[in-house]
Structure 1
Amino acid sequence: MAVSRSLRRTNPITIVLAGLLAIGFLVFIFSPSPSSAASGSGNERKSYAAENPLSPPTKPFFKEAPIKANGRRAPPPVVRYALNNNTATSTSASNHERVLILTPLARFYVGYWENLVKLSYPHEYISLGFIIPKTREGNAAASALQAAIKKTQSGPVNDRFASITILRQDFDPPIVSQDEKERHKMENQKIRREAMSRARNSLLFTTLGPSTSWVLWLDADIVETPETLIQDLTKHNKPVIVPNCYQRFRDPETRQMDTRPYDYNSWVDSARSLEIAAAMGPDEIMLEGYAELPTYRTLMAHLADKSPNRDIDKIMPLDGVGGTALMVKADVHRDGAMFPAFPFYHMVETEGFAKMARRLGWKCFGLPNYFVYHYNE
């Protein structure tokens, strides 16, 4: 049989190379990625993905080719969620309960992100949400956050989070400076914490999904926690629970590293604090941790046992909670407990949230001997 002129002129080596190239291309396409094969969680992550793009950002959504009917794009589906199937139990990890970690972020701390990535709770059940102010410092924080996210989400599969949402505030912050001294001035507290409440509520209402079991509020300047933070907090199976927030520092007298209390917003009311509240006007708020306004409340920060053999599971009821590392059952938020941006029983933000949760029938608790650590400026 006569061979065509084009084939007679083709170098046999070229044909062999073309065949090898085709085989290599097919192997590359159909082979699993090394990270997916090593972790074995690729298929599991796929099974927990959202079914359609209308799902809230609690779960990852893997975009498929658009479905068309009769040459037209199919209409959006009607989505039904069985919220009664959700659980929030003491064995959260083994029950595959989804955790939403929410962080108002004005500055980006590398230690915060590194600590977040080290959390041992399965990352395929963790979604992240951030809200960032539209300021020069906020823009820098957003850029640094996006760089960290890109590195983590393109790294090993087991380190990747299920989904990440970044919001930018639609209002100007009342205090431009984020320096610790400026943030904690007493005269700045009302407007600052009311603005923080608005930011927290915007973040919560945008990201809370129907499959969320737990919401962990984690401040952007919390740079050290146990890797088992989520398991340690959820195992108590409480509606609202908060650890003790401390800060590492170098003692100028001993020149040795030590720890000191940082968050004074977790407390039990006193007779004096209730008297002060009863005498306040409707728009006044009570603040904790300021010498100008002694309330004589029982502060969880002052009840800590720092000894090595302390009972980290010791638990106590609270009337107010701080928000540095606050674990909340999602049903508490679904019931309507949010962060009041107005005086609610003379409380705002996280302390006002505790008051609101209690009015809805939920109780708040604290772990005085379980520590998380705040960045030391």
Structure 2
Amino acid sequence: MPSPRALRRTNPITIALAALLTVGFLFFIFSSASDPAPPPPPTTKERLGSKDAASNPLSPPSLPFRKTSVLKQDGTQAPPPVVHYQMTNLTASADPVGNRETVLILTPMTRFYQGYWDNLLKLSYPHELISLGFITPKTREGNAATAALQEQINKVQSGSKGKRFASVTILRQDTEIPLQSQDEAERHKMENQKMRRAAMSKARNSLLFTTLGPTTSWVLWLDADIVETPASLIQDLAAHDKPVIVPNCFQRYYNDEKKAMDVRPYDFNSWIDSQTAQILAAKMDNDDILLEGYRELPTYRTLMAYMADSNQDLHAEVQLDGVGGTALLVKADVHRDGAMFPPFSFYHLIETEGFAKMASRLGWKSWGLPNYFVYHFNE
């Protein structure tokens, strides 16, 4: 015969379970209320200096490069930390050293020039605020350049702490190289320009998009064959507080007529546009590009290369419509806004000249220093 309902309700097992649940619930409530408040999230500076920071400080410190991860007590992998960056506090000012602004120096490299590396080490900008990025092609020459570069990097990064750079990134280019020979004469043939500069644009964009970090204030594009600059190059260019600024690139050579060393203009990609060039562009097909410095295609633009006057102010400024990339300082926000190096015809311009046009369309103007010189290697 079944037990009465009243007896089932007062079953000792039921009473014990109810009491246990009540005690557990009360313990959970009171222990949670007594727990201290969680600490505030670490600042960018604290996170970058902690053991949780990424191996590469150019990336958000979420441990993307580490081989091992922290494990929880149950043996499962702990999630990466959440990092907060106050991008509104990031500055790119006329006093980059005083404001401790980080600089990213980017160099596409096909050949390694010792003069380039020696000059890089002489830069007086604090090295702990400089990160380096390189991209080299997967060719025999590119392999040799990578090996030579890694050897020099190992020496510096294992040497005196004051001379070490904040980080170094080397990428290997995964796009085809249109020219097998990198000799100066072959590189500058007019018929090779569109495919060569399109490949250069892709390399620059890959390098930029991979290495630009949330703490980067300035990006200095420095070609691998620039072997002489003032030691204060970064400070001098940044002092003008321009979004895009380029010095004048010359080349030292032996003048047979003078029987002495001399200098001559090298980079003709920094210019002020002309009506003639605009008329030429208007008659071109959409995929055609205008090139500068070739007799076959006279544009009659005003070239900064021929505006140099050694008796004038070293820091005289001129606004430009096109820029070269041999030594080009850019506020990182210009790139963050979307200005990149078009590997296609962009208003009939390509690569660095196309970059200046794209930056202009985004509201950023380009400037040049006709009397401030950097020097290109002479083959």
TM-score, L = length of structure 2: 0.84
Q: Which runs of 5+ in 2 are unaligned?
A: 1-44
Shift in Å, 1:73: 2.9
Q: How does 1:1-377 map to 2 (within 5 A)?
A: 49=49, 51-53=52-54, 57=58, 66-70=69-73, 71-307=75-311, 310-377=312-379
* Aligned CA-pair RMSD: 2.0
Counterpart contact for 1:268–1:320, Cα < 8 Å = yes
CA separation in 2, counterparts of 1:123 and 1:186?
39
Deviation at 1:66, TM superposition (A): 4.5
**Contact 2:202 2:343 (C-alpha < 8 Å) held by counterparts:** yes
- The AA in structure 1 aligned to 2:124 is S
Judge conservation of contact 2:54–2:60 (CA < 8 Å) in 1: no
Query: Contact 2:244 / 2:367 at 8 angstroms: preserved in 1?
Result: yes
Q: In 2, distance between residues paired with 1:200 and 1:63?
A: 26
Moved more, 152-161 or 219-228: 152-161
Kept in 2, the 8 Å contact 1:58–1:127? The answer is: no
SS class of match (1:72): coil
What amino acid maps onto 2:114 in structure 1? Answer: V
Query: Contact 1:102 / 1:204 at 8 angstroms: preserved in 2?
Result: yes
- CA distance, structure 2, for counterparts of residue 170 and residue 259 of structure 1: 37
Inter-partner Cα distance in structure 2 for 1:234 and 1:69: 46
Whether the 8 Å CA contact 1:103–1:130 is kept in 2: the answer is yes
Separation in 1 of the partners of 2:172 and 2:218? 23
- Contact residue 58 and residue 100 of structure 1 kept, 8 A: no
Give me the whole-angstrom Cα distance separating, in 2, the residues matched to 1:255 and 1:46.
Answer: 59
In structure 1, C-alpha distance between the alignment counterparts of 2:279 and 2:49, rounded to whole Å: 52
Tell me the CA shift for residue 306 of structure 1. 2.5
1:81 & 1:346 partners in 2: Cα distance? 38
Shift of 1:223: 0.2
Residue 344 (structure 1) shift: 0.1
Q: What CA deviation, in whole Å up to 9, does each residue of 1:320-370 have, x standing for no partner?
A: 000000000000000000000100000000000000000000000000000
**Counterpart residue type for residue 54 of structure 2:** P
Summarize the Cα distance change of 1:261–1:123 in structure 2 as closer, same or farther, 3 Å threshold. Answer: same
- 1:272 alignment partner, SS class: helix
Q: Using the alignment, how far apart are the partners of 1:268 and 1:187 within structure 2? A: 24
Secondary structure of 2:310's partner? coil
Measure how far apart 1:47 and its partner are: 8.2
Q: Measure, in 2, the Cα distance between the counterparts of 1:54 and 1:140.
A: 26
**Paired residue type of 1:262:** Y
Deviation at 1:52, TM superposition (A): 2.5
AA aligned opposite 1:124: E
Which amino acid in structure 1 is aligned with residue 97 of structure 2?
A
> Number of matched residues?
331
Point out where structure 1 has 5 or more consecutive residues left out of the alignment. 1-44
Counterpart Cα distance in 1 of 2:182 and 2:55: 36
- Quote how far apart the aligned CAs of 1:69 are: 1.9
Residue 12 of structure 1 aligns with which residue? none
Structure 2 residue matching 1:73: 3-state secondary structure: coil
What's the CA shift string for 1:125-164, capped at 9, x where partnerless? 0000000000000000000000000111111111100000
Q: What percentage of aligned pairs have identical amino acids?
A: 66
Structure 1 residues 285 and 92, CA gap change in structure 2 (3 angstroms): same
TM-score calculated relative to the size of structure 1 = 0.84
Secondary structure at the aligned position of 2:169 is classed as strand
1:239 touches 1:363 (CA, 8 Å); kept in 2?
Answer: yes
The amino acid that maps onto 1:57 is: L
> Secondary structure at 2:218's aligned position in 1?
strand
Greater C-alpha radius of gyration: 2
